[in-house]
Amino acid sequence: MTDRYTKTMLTIIVVCLLALTFIKAEPVIRAQRLIICSGDLNANLHGGTAPSVGGYTIRVTCS
């Protein structure tokens, strides 16, 4: 009796593992689209931020 039960359980496990191996499931989690950003940062001689002194100019573009 125990031998038949063990063989039945092992057979069910093997069938399930084979099914998981050959079934191609669509992934649930996907990566976001890649975004690449680049930019320039320019400062004046004194490191000031007021536009009248030169300040900082920041330009960033992303694609």
What are the residue boundaries of the structural domains of the chain, listed by start?
A: 2-62
Q: Are residues 62 and 35 in contact, defined by beta-carbon separation less than 8 angstroms?
A: yes
* % pLDDT > 90, the chain: 21
* DSSP run (H or E) holding 56: strand 56-62
pLDDT of res. 53: 45
Residue 52 has pLDDT above 50, yes or no: no
Residue position matching structure tokens 């009248």: 52
pTM of the predicted structure, to 2 decimals: 0.38
5, 9, 24, 39, 48 from 51: Cα distances, Å: 83, 77, 59, 19, 8
- The confidence band for 48, taking pLDDT boundaries of 50, 70 and 90, is low
List helix spans (H) across 1-63. Answer: 2-22
Residue position matching structure tokens 């400062």: 43
Residue 12 has pLDDT above 60, yes or no: yes
Average pLDDT over the chain reads 76
